[in-house]
Amino acid sequence: MNPEEFETALEKKGIKLDERQLEQYQIYYDYLIEVNQVMDLTNIVEKNEVYLKHFFDSLTLAWAYPALQTEPLKLVDVGAGAGFPSLPLKIAFPQLEIVIVDSLQKRINFLNQLIEKLDLTGVQPIHERAEVFGDKNAPTRETFDVATARALKAMPMLVEMTLPLVKRGGVLLAMKGSRAAEEIQDAKVAIPTVGGAVEDQIKVDLPNGDAREIVVIKKVKKTPAKYPRKFSDIKNKTL
């Protein structure tokens, strides 16, 4: 998917980018590749692949959850690494207020420099562990409209580390592949335990034929104070 195909594919979804937004994606790509030569940010470096598997894939959240396109939602992206999916969303939908949480300082440094190059406002990268950011005493607990975390794979871990950050009535958007149903089953205890309920499973197709499923988990009640647990327990003692 080259930049022109990227623009056309988004237009088919009703998303029209202006020249500045298209320029921002180009700046994003150039800086990602530059820094990736000295820092391990992504294994995907070919331009057409970055536009498809990073930029376009990130934006699939916007038609799975259309409020992202128009509402001034407060979104937290946990473990975002090189900024996916939150920064491609921010470029396309500048009204979003984004907080990016990552435990590695050098990734936060990259994100701060990238945000400056993109001239974005309303984006705050924070160096912190997700389970600390969502702790019962943290001021950021249960303050976000939307949470997402493309890097976290196991659904029980994903919900325990992200759903405590979401306020009641908000959602976790879990980006999954063909095993989404199995992963929901794996998290059948974890999801309600931390205050969530599966609201929808939305299949979205990428232009190359790959399928993506986005699981919408609604925050239906407050997360009990003991969650999230310390990381070693989240990882080794699955809910």
Phi, psi of 203 (to 5 degrees): -90, 130
- Which band of pLDDT confidence, cut at 50, 70 and 90, is reported for residue 234? very high
Instruction: Give the residue-averaged pLDDT of 225-236.
Output: 93
- Expressed in angstroms, the distance from the first to the final Cα of the chain is 39
Which pLDDT score is estimated for 205?
82
Which pLDDT score is estimated for 208?
82
Say if residue 30's pLDDT is above 80.
yes
Q: Estimate to the nearest angstrom the gap between the alpha carbon of 29 and the chain centroid.
A: 18
Span 32-44, pLDDT tens digits: 999 999 998 989 9
Span 52-93, pLDDT tens digits: 999 999 999 999 999 999 999 999 999 878 999 999 999 999
Which pLDDT score is estimated for 179?
84
According to the annotation, is 133 in a ligand binding site? no
Domains of the chain: 3-236 (3.40.50.150)
pTM passes above 0.75 = yes
According to the annotation, is 97 in a ligand binding site? no
According to the annotation, is 93 in a ligand binding site? no
Nearest to 28 by CA among 92, 98, 100: 92
Question: Which residues face 18 on adjacent strands?
Answer: none
Which pLDDT score is estimated for 153?
73
Question: Roughly what angle, to the nearest 10 degrees, separates helices 19-36 and 105-118?
Answer: 150
Q: How many CB atoms lie within 10 A of CB 162?
A: 31
Classify strands 74-78 and 97-102 as parallel, antiparallel or unpaired. Answer: parallel
Which pLDDT score is estimated for 207?
84
According to the annotation, is 84 in a ligand binding site? yes
Which pLDDT score is estimated for 180?
87
162 within 8 A of 168, measured Cβ to Cβ: no
Q: Estimate to the nearest angstrom the gap between the alpha carbon of 62 and the chain centroid.
A: 11
Instruction: Give the residue-averaged pLDDT of 177-206.
Output: 92
Say if residue 209's pLDDT is above 80.
no
- CA separation (Å) from 152 to 106, 119, 140? 19, 28, 20
Q: How many CB atoms lie within 10 A of CB 120?
A: 15
Which pLDDT score is estimated for 195?
97
Which pLDDT score is estimated for 10?
95
CA dihedral 110, 61, 177, 7 (to 10 degrees): -80
- Which band of pLDDT confidence, cut at 50, 70 and 90, is reported for residue 177? confident
According to the annotation, is 160 in a ligand binding site? no
